[in-house]
Structure 1
């Protein structure tokens, strides 16, 4: 693959504290990576389908909603442009929020999506919180989810867990720009299930290979191998113990369900991590004939007026 660079970052905003917190992370990354930043605000189409007496806005109110959103984002972009000296623009789009984020990420070839996450419990835990779930599942680029618990402006300690799954090492190329710009230290943690002696030996070899590859980049790197009952829980426990600033995971899909659900490993980590998580899908990208079908069939056309 070509060397991955973070040149264009897309940030969903809804003016909530959690979204604003993720925006601060994205701004800090833009300044380090010399990236351009785009804010996207999505007016939910379900809100437009119902008249005001039914709790919606009604289609006739859409022009005002669109104008207000454009005005608010234009003012925010102007303020951030002056304050941080960054290149920033914005998009206003009607549709399903997660679907529009993915469509614009694909349409404009963004390198990274940075978005806030609420965490989840119960049924919301299973579905990863619908917007974050759909974005991590469908985005054509890596997705960084930012918990709203505190501000994350740099990443000095990065946890790099490895499992015995295909393409587990691909994610290193995606995290290299972050490591370089943050002067990060990396902990490579091989994770295998208990009593899998063969996997433990193979994992030890794999971890050594990865560590040697990383140290060739003059990156400070430590490594270890863990036996555990629950892989996701072990990753989270390691992250808490070493006080990491970022977890980098391979976001695998559950093929037994025709790729409809993210694997429980991905769900558990994104839902419960107390620190940002960078989710990278193997062979990152979208088959436009498959996964994007459900998105384009329910969304409004990309609007030429939306990008400013």
Structure 2
């Protein structure tokens, strides 16, 4: 794996949720001495809609001014280094592309989703699945600085070393505890025992790095 730069990508659309995500990125940026890269994606316009605009560049110009003003304001407020990126296209595609281009260490992004849903929004979900780096999604308005508990879901039938090391990295930054959860859909004792052994190895690996860790296997038997 390539070494990541000290850049955190923060997609911003000036909505309240994206600005909450931005504010949540400050503590992480200070912990790793990172530059915050603000990204605004102008959603892909079909040709018919484009004809309604005399100049798409006028839209980009207005967005760029607003984004630069936001970066300047927040840089003065926090003492952090900011830069800006503007792209046109599908939101989730451009977030992943820019993350790859700048070799981002983290992506921090707001997610709206359904207010009563436990699931993240569609753009955030697609970014989480395809991003080249860890993605931290921020939903709702009430948050605290950093984190003290990290839930680490693991599929122990697959390669998990990257995911485990990324969780350890964040846990070390915030002195957080890791809770490993693995879901099994079988009651076969041989398989269960094998996965318990694998889970123990992962737990010991994390604890040997000086991070507090607990682990649990959740059995969901198919009817």
TM-score, L = length of structure 2: 0.86
Aligned-partner Cα distance in 2 for 1:198–1:120: 41
2:170 — aligned with what? 178
Stretches (4+) displaced over 4 A: none
Task: Give, in angstroms, the shift of residue 57 of structure 1.
Answer: 7.1
Please tell me whether residue 119 in structure 1 is matched to residue 113 in structure 2: yes
Q: Where does structure 2 lack aligned partners over 5 or more consecutive residues?
A: none
1:67 — aligned with what? 61
Contact 2:41-2:87 within 8 A present in 1 as well: yes
Q: Where does structure 1 lack aligned partners over 5 or more consecutive residues?
A: 231-308
Please tell me whether residue 103 in structure 1 is matched to residue 102 in structure 2: no
Task: Give, in angstroms, the shift of residue 131 of structure 1.
Answer: 2.0
Give a deviation string over 1:93-146, Cα, whole Å, max 9, x none. 22222221121111221122111112359xxx7xx7442243223322222222
1:222 — aligned with what? 214
1:83 — aligned with what? 77
Aligned-partner Cα distance in 2 for 1:151–1:89: 25
Aligned-partner Cα distance in 2 for 1:108–1:72: 22
1:200 — aligned with what? 192
CA 1:42–1:221: 2 relative to 1, 3 Å? same
Task: Give, in angstroms, the shift of residue 50 of structure 1.
Answer: 3.2
CA 1:62–1:142: 2 relative to 1, 3 Å? same
Please tell me whether residue 13 in structure 1 is matched to residue 12 in structure 2: yes
Please tell me whether residue 23 in structure 1 is matched to residue 22 in structure 2: yes
Task: Give, in angstroms, the shift of residue 59 of structure 1.
Answer: 4.3
CA 1:6–1:226: 2 relative to 1, 3 Å? farther
Task: Give, in angstroms, the shift of residue 160 of structure 1.
Answer: 1.7
1:142 — aligned with what? 134
SS of residue matched to 1:167: coil
Task: Give, in angstroms, the shift of residue 170 of structure 1.
Answer: 2.5
Contact 1:11-1:23 within 8 A present in 2 as well: yes
Contact 2:156-2:199 within 8 A present in 1 as well: no
SS of residue matched to 1:170: helix
Aligned-partner Cα distance in 2 for 1:62–1:192: 51
Task: Give, in angstroms, the shift of residue 198 of structure 1.
Answer: 2.2
Task: Give, in angstroms, the shift of residue 222 of structure 1.
Answer: 1.9
SS of residue matched to 2:104: coil
Contact 2:36-2:81 within 8 A present in 1 as well: yes
CA 1:139–1:222: 2 relative to 1, 3 Å? closer
SS of residue matched to 2:195: helix
CA 1:98–1:189: 2 relative to 1, 3 Å? closer
TM-score, L = length of structure 1: 0.64
Contact 1:5-1:177 within 8 A present in 2 as well: no
